Chain A
Amino acid sequence: MSVPILNASGCLDAIAAPEVAETLDVFVTKTVTPLPREGNPPPRFAETEVGMLNSIGLQNPGIDAFVEKHLPRLAALSAPVWVSVGGFSADDYSLLCARLDSRDDVAAIELNLSCPNVEEAPETTAELTAAARAATSKTLYAKLSPAAWDVAETARAVADAGADGLTLVNTIRGLALERALVPKLARGAGGYSGPALRPIALACVHACAAAVDLPIVGMGGVSSGRDALDLVAAGASAIGLGTILFSDPFAAVRVRAELSAAAASLGCESPAELRARALEPVTSSKA
C-alpha cells in the first residue's frame, strides 16, 4: 500500500529534528508569512480530555529569512519540501508564491487558508487561491478549514480557482477554561486537534472527494494505521500527521506499517480498492 505520509504544517521543525523529517515522504514547513511574526503570547497550548488546543499565531521568520536561511538547509533533506504560506490579503499570497516560484528546492506550495489563530484575509478562499495561482506555476495545495458549512462547495471553488490539490483539514476553533474559568490559552480560543478531529476530517475528505477530482492530503487526529486507512477509504491519497508527532516523533514509521497491515487484513491492495469499498452506496433499510 503506497500512501505518502506527510507532517501537518506547524507540527514539525525539520531543522531541529531532521531525523524525524527523514521518516516522512514529504516535509511540509511551518507556515511562512511575508513579514516575520513572533506569534502569540504563552500559554499557547492546552490539553483537553480528547484533544489539544493551540494558538501559536504563525510564529515564523518571514519569507526573506526563510528563503535565505531555512530553505537551503531544508533542501538537504531527502524528502521533497512543501512550503506552507499564509497571509492577510490576496496580495500577500501573490507575493509569497512569486518568491517561491523559481525555487527548485520547493516541490509544492500549500496555501494555509484556514488558520484559526490569526486575522482572516478579506477575500474569499477562492480569490486567495486565484491570486496564488496567478503568481506561480508550482503545484498548489489549498488547506481548508473543517468549519465551513459546506466544505465541498469550498473545494469546488478552489478547484475552479486553480488549486492542484486539497489538504483536509486544518484545526477547528475551540476554547477551554481553567478551573477559575479563565481561558487556558492566552489568546482565548485556539485550534482544536487530535482524536476529536478525526470524524470531522473523515467527513470533509469524504465530501470533497465526491465533489472534486483533485488529490487530497487527509489529516486530522490520525494516530494509527487504521485511522489513516479510514481517510484513504474516504478519498485521501496521502496522509498527514499532526498532534501524534508531539507524543510520538517517529509515528510515521509505525503508521505506514500499520496501514499496510490493516489494508491487507481487509483484502485490499490499493487505495482504489479501499475507496471503492467505502463509497459503496448505503443500502436502505427494509424495515
Chain B
Amino acid sequence: MSALGAATPSHESLQGIGAARRQLLQVTGVEQVGPYTLLRVDRGGLAPGAPGQFFMLEAPGRLLPRPMSLCLAPQDELAFLVDPIGPGTCALCALRSGDGIHVLGPLGNGFDLDVARPLLVGGGIGIAPLPYLAQALGGAPAILGFRSELHAEAARLLPEAEVVVEPRLVTELVPDEPIDVLACGPEPMLEAIRARFPDAQLACEAPMACGYGACYGCVVEIDGTLQRLCLAGPVLRGTA
C-alpha cells in the first residue's frame, strides 16, 4: 500500500516541464498492431521517463501536438501505441520510417512502482502504457480487455496477459484479494476499478494542448476541484 494515503496525485510534487526536452526525432518504424499503430522513434537525447509518463508528439499538419504515454522503450528508441481516431492521430499513423517529428517529454507523474502485489489492468488503447510498466516491474500479471478480436491483436504487446473480448469485461477477471491495481482504459472501466480498489493507480486521459501546465485545457475534477491532469496526473490514485 502506498504511504501517500488519500493524496490525489500518485506523487507528492506536481510535475512541470522539469527534465523534459523537445527534439526533432526520426521515425524508425511504423507497425500495424490490430487497428492500432506502434510508432517507433529514435530516442535522441530524450529520457524515457517512468511508466505512465507521457510525451507530446507533433502531429504533422496539425497546430497542436498529441499526448501519448510511452508504450515501450527499446534500446535507443521510444515507442507509442496510437489509435487513429482523429486528424492528429491519423497523421501520426501515416508517418513513415525516416520522417521527423518533434517530441517533448517525458511529462507528468507516472505509476508508483513501489507495489507489493501488482496487477495490471488495461482496456482498449488504454493498454498503451502497460508493456513498459510490466517491464519496469520485472514482469507482472496483466488482464486486458478489448471490444473485438481485431483490437485484441494488440495483446501481443503483453504476451503473458489474460485477454477478454466484449461482452466479457476485464473487471470480471480481477480477483477480490488484496492487490495493487495499476490500470489504464476507458472511463467506465476505471470507475469500476476505483469502486473496488480505492487505492488503485489509474492512468487517466484528457485532451491536452501543451502537456506542461501552460494551457489549462486538460482540467479534470480531482477532490472536487478542476485541476490540470498534465500536472496532477496522468496517474491518479483511485481515491481522487
A residues at B contact (CB < 8 Å):
10-13, 15-20, 30, 38-39, 41-45, 47-48, 50-52, 54, 56, 59, 194-195, 243, 245-250
Q: What class of interface size applies to chain B in its complex with A?
A: 20 to 34
Residue B62, interface by CB 8 Å: yes
Complex-state Cα separation, A48 to B14, whole angstroms: 30
Complex-state Cα separation, A48 to B22, whole angstroms: 24
Given A16-B17, A17-B17, A59-B226, the answer on whether A194 and B216 have CB atoms closer than 8 Å is: no
Closest 6 CB pairs of A and B: A16-B213, A16-B16, A246-B210, A45-B217, A17-B17, A246-B209
* B232 CB, nearest partner CB in chain A, Å: 11
Q: Is the CB of B226 within 8 A of A38?
A: yes
- A contact residues around B195 at 8 Å (CB): none
Q: Is the CB of B214 within 8 A of A47?
A: no
Residue B63, interface by CB 8 Å: yes
- B contact residues around A247 at 8 Å (CB): 56, 58, 63-65, 102, 210
**What are 8 A-to-B residue pairs whose CB atoms are below 8 Å?**
A17-B212, A20-B214, A30-B216, A42-B217, A45-B217, A59-B226, A245-B214, A249-B17
B220 contact from A39, A42, A194, A249, Cβ within 8 A: A42
Complex-state Cα separation, A175 to B68, whole angstroms: 27
A245 contact from B88, B210, B217, B231, Cβ within 8 A: B210
Complex-state Cα separation, A17 to B16, whole angstroms: 5
Given A17-B213, A246-B210, A249-B210, the answer on whether A194 and B63 have CB atoms closer than 8 Å is: yes
- B contact residues around A51 at 8 Å (CB): 63
Q: Is the CB of B215 within 8 A of A195?
A: no
B22 contact from A16, A39, A41, A249, Cβ within 8 A: A249
* B226 CB, nearest partner CB in chain A, Å: 5
Given A13-B213, A246-B209, the answer on whether A47 and B102 have CB atoms closer than 8 Å is: no
Given A39-B219, A42-B220, the answer on whether A47 and B212 have CB atoms closer than 8 Å is: no
Interface residues of B in 53-94 (CB under 8 A from A): 56, 58, 62-65, 87-88
Q: Is the CB of B63 within 8 A of A16?
A: no
Q: Is the CB of A47 within 8 A of B63?
A: yes
Instruction: List the B residue with the shortest CB-CB distance to A246.
Output: B210
- A contact residues around B231 at 8 Å (CB): 16
A39 contact from B17, B62, B214, B216, Cβ within 8 A: B216
Complex-state Cα separation, A140 to B16, whole angstroms: 30
* A24 CB, nearest partner CB in chain B, Å: 12
Complex-state Cα separation, A12 to B64, whole angstroms: 15
Given A16-B231, A39-B226, A47-B88, the answer on whether A246 and B219 have CB atoms closer than 8 Å is: no
Of the candidates B87, B206, B209, B216, the one having the most CB atoms from chain A within 10 angstroms of its own CB is: B216
